[in-house]
Structure 1
Amino acid sequence: MKNLRKEFPVLSNNTYLNTASSGLLYDSLLEFRQEHDLDFLIGGSLFRDSQQIFFNNVRKTIAAFFGSSDTNVVLTPNFSLGFNTILSGVDKNKKVLLLDEDYPSINFAVTSKGFNVCYATIDATVEQNIEDAIQKHQPDIFAFSLVQYINGIAIDLDFLTQLKAKYPNVLFIADATQFCGTRAFDFNASGIDILGCSGYKWLLGGYGNGFMLFNHNVLDQITPSLYIDAAAKTNYDPSYTSLQARFECGHLDTFNFGSLQYSLNFLNKIGISIIEEHMNTLSDYAKSEFTKLNLLEESVLKRQRHSTIFNIKGDQELHLHLKKHHIITSLRGPGIRISLHFYNTKEDIKKLSDVLYRYR
């Protein structure tokens, strides 16, 4: 992994612990992007003549990476646009279960549209809280982040699979933006009905790209009947009227989605299982170090497994102090968010711990 750090110029002068805010641009991706625009420069409209084949290949790459069918992959500029499109096709009388303090792109999107909402608490027993809430409130939809953006609490995937088997009529919609790219994942075996992701964090795809994965026939359930009826009565090309077209309206950007495809292939070359193993080691080490310094909330300490996102005790003054030492983090919620990717090392965590120790 250390050799791969040379791909990321930011790391030469900084200890970058902020992937949860933005993944990094790297040298070979920059080369791809420059070549892409050069081809556009000299080809003009000829460059776009094969765009349908190009985007079909992007869908196939996404499907292969996440264990889905490419016919069930929808391309979207980001998770939020895809999620709001989903909600616009759902009956507002449906009851939606949310996690309290989950990402605003989920919670505000749901509450602002007038859905009947209920909540489960995010703490050390979040899985039990979710099941209790489903039993009590009997929601039609459960919308949630797989990994919480503030403190990094991650919902157990085996639990979700078992929960879906127990409540097959509840529609599971997951935001995986803080998850995809951190470990191997098989969407078809997950129990999740719809999974969405923006590509600019752990997938290293840059901004302006994302995707939604749908289980078989789910698109039919979330498409308004008026849309389906109107599409059946027209002779327009399916690219304007299909169920996917509601999400992919207008021109998609070959630059952005090409960047996502390039990065998925980049991660594949490293090996997602190797990335997962490295990140598990980093997570365990970071949790141990932060525990020694009494920096973690009780809910995280009680969890057996954790993601690579941590929220440590601290304020704006400490955040600026870290920045002066070229340690890049984010202020989030009650403290300072630390987030790790495969380009991070134990030495990065040691440097952070040393600075924190001296600051205290």
Structure 2
Amino acid sequence: MKLQHQKQLFTLPENITYLNIASLSPSFKSIEEAGIKAVKEKSTPHLIPSTNFFEPVIELKKLFTKLIHADNYNRIANIPSVSYGLATVANNTQLKEGDEILLVEGQFPSNYYVWDTLAKKYNAVIKIAEQPENKIGKGKLWNETILNSISDKTAVIALGNIHWANGTIFDLKAIRKKATLHNALLIIDGSQSVGALPFSIKEIQPDALICAGYKWLFGPYGCGYAYFGSKFDNGTPIEENWSNRLNSEDFSRLTNYQSQYKPLANRYSVGEHGSFIYVQMQIAAIKQLLQWNPEDIQNYCLSITASSIERLRNAGCFIEENTYRAKHLFGVEIPKSVNLQSLKDKLSKENIFVSFRGNYIRISCHLYNTENEIIKLTDCILSEIS
């Protein structure tokens, strides 16, 4: 299905060009309404049934399960952040001295610090798959570097589906295949991809998938999702939340302390994950996402950016070749002659919102954006290139 822009679902001002969903998404009108309704319900707590601690959470997990093509909603944990999900993984990962944890260069800090700490604990080694200096075929070469870095020493491979700053796509199928060959855990950060880029648990079979909820999944800040595979079925959570225990729905017997957890990943959900407000907003968000197809989102983003990308490349900007980059998020490396502060001032004056990440201008777009907005951004960039 060819998607048209969906600006009518949002309340973004007409004079704003928002190309920064990779930092923080706007809300659909339906999310805003769900949140306001939930806030008002809190004013009359006597009308909130005890089932609201549990049933909406199950609904949310089922929706997310459908989004990532998983089989069992009990493999989903509700988390407050990516760092929480990764800490849970690290807490249940034992290494041997000299084991290697493979990361990619320039990985987001939350997906670096946790592994650095784990490596120090076990006297293991952090191994970095560096970005190739050669810009021709960069994405292909980088993927080859990752695959060549996996060996019998590799215990953990942790990376995103795409690079968070420049949108380079990593070949998770090939990485999974080699990870399996060497008995290494594959831990995926889906924060910048799930919801906008096709992803299937059945296809990739990660040992864990961790996603922030406030970017491409359109949830409120402070929520996220984690999928845990079978290697974490009997692990230890980093906190002991009462609602994660078996039969916790029976409030009259809560002090009949239960030694068993609810099945599979339920044990890893954060305390108070049944937030009446957050969960309702998340449900509204994923219901809307499920009406779209990630492939259609990719095609739409490509259609509104293609002509501008060609103009930028012709002006000397580097953008990863289309085969090896995401269409919803990509980096533009501008010539060194450009005065960055002057460019930032111009974008601010034009109410254009993007991110500057390392050497890249990170552009992240969605269905509320139009081709004219991308052209407006491109014109600003080109006006600063001498």
Find the residue that maps to 2:323 and give its secondary structure.
Answer: coil
The reply on whether 1:248 has 2:269 as its aligned counterpart is yes
Q: Are 1:98 and 1:117, in contact at CA under 8 Å, matched by a contact in 2? A: yes
> Counterparts of 1:296 and 1:207 in 2: how far apart (Å)?
32
For 1:324, the aligned partner's letter is K
- Measured after TM superposition, the shift of residue 15 of structure 1 is 0.8
Gaps of 5+ in 1: none
* Residues 183-235 of structure 1 deviation map (CA, whole Å, 9 limit, x = unaligned): 232112213221110011111112121111122x22147549xx9xxx9xx97
* Distance change in 2, residues 1:340/1:104 (3 Å): same
**What are the residue-to-residue correspondences of 1:156-167 with 2, within 5 Å?**
156-167=171-182
Q: Which of 112, 135, 157 does residue 107 from structure 1 map onto?
A: 112
* Distance change in 2, residues 1:11/1:306 (3 Å): farther
* Residues 128-150 of structure 1 deviation map (CA, whole Å, 9 limit, x = unaligned): 11111113x62111011111111
The reply on whether 1:311 has 2:327 as its aligned counterpart is no
Q: Are 2:30 and 2:284, in contact at CA under 8 Å, matched by a contact in 1? A: no
Q: Are 1:161 and 1:189, in contact at CA under 8 Å, matched by a contact in 2? A: no
Q: Which of 189, 198, 219 does residue 232 from structure 2 map onto?
A: 219
- Measured after TM superposition, the shift of residue 122 of structure 1 is 2.9
* More moved, 340-349 vs 124-133: 340-349
Q: Which residue is 2:292 aligned to?
A: 270
Quick check: which one's helix share is greater? 1
Q: Which of 148, 152, 161 does residue 146 from structure 1 map onto?
A: 161
* More moved, 149-158 vs 268-277: 268-277
Q: Which residue is 2:217 aligned to?
A: 203
> Counterparts of 2:154 and 2:382 in 1: how far apart (Å)?
46
* Distance change in 2, residues 1:3/1:311 (3 Å): closer
Q: Which of 111, 117, 129 does residue 120 from structure 1 map onto?
A: 129
Q: Are 2:212 and 2:223, in contact at CA under 8 Å, matched by a contact in 1? A: yes
Find the residue that maps to 1:278 and give its secondary structure.
Answer: helix
**What are the residue-to-residue correspondences of 1:47-86 with 2, within 5 Å?**
47-68=49-70, 69-86=72-89
Find the residue that maps to 1:41 and give its secondary structure.
Answer: coil
- Measured after TM superposition, the shift of residue 164 of structure 1 is 4.1
* Distance change in 2, residues 1:173/1:222 (3 Å): farther
- Measured after TM superposition, the shift of residue 286 of structure 1 is 4.5
Aligned residues: 348
* More moved, 158-167 vs 246-255: 158-167
Gaps of 5+ in 2: 133-137, 246-254
For 1:74, the aligned partner's letter is A
* More moved, 89-98 vs 101-110: 89-98
> Counterparts of 2:231 and 2:276 in 1: how far apart (Å)?
27
Q: Which of 155, 178, 186 does residue 192 from structure 2 map onto?
A: 178
> Counterparts of 1:249 and 1:235 in 2: how far apart (Å)?
22
Q: Please report the RMSD computed on the Cα atoms of aligned residues, expressed in angstroms.
A: 2.7
For 2:324, the aligned partner's letter is R
- Measured after TM superposition, the shift of residue 353 of structure 1 is 1.4
Q: Which residue is 1:19 aligned to?
A: 21
Q: Are 1:239 and 1:245, in contact at CA under 8 Å, matched by a contact in 2? A: no
For 2:14, the aligned partner's letter is S
> Counterparts of 2:284 and 2:214 in 1: how far apart (Å)?
13
Q: Which of 347, 354, 361 does residue 329 from structure 1 map onto?
A: 354
The reply on whether 1:296 has 2:333 as its aligned counterpart is no
For 1:129, the aligned partner's letter is T
Q: Are 2:5 and 2:370, in contact at CA under 8 Å, matched by a contact in 1? A: no
For 2:153, the aligned partner's letter is Q
Find the residue that maps to 1:9 and give its secondary structure.
Answer: coil
> Counterparts of 1:19 and 1:145 in 2: how far apart (Å)?
17
The reply on whether 1:237 has 2:258 as its aligned counterpart is yes
Find the residue that maps to 1:323 and give its secondary structure.
Answer: helix
> Counterparts of 2:314 and 2:10 in 1: how far apart (Å)?
30
**Identity within the alignment, %:** 23
For 1:323, the aligned partner's letter is S
> Counterparts of 1:191 and 1:2 in 2: how far apart (Å)?
32
- Measured after TM superposition, the shift of residue 328 of structure 1 is 0.5
- Measured after TM superposition, the shift of residue 165 of structure 1 is 4.9
* Residues 92-125 of structure 1 deviation map (CA, whole Å, 9 limit, x = unaligned): 5343111121111111221133142112123421
* Distance change in 2, residues 1:219/1:286 (3 Å): farther
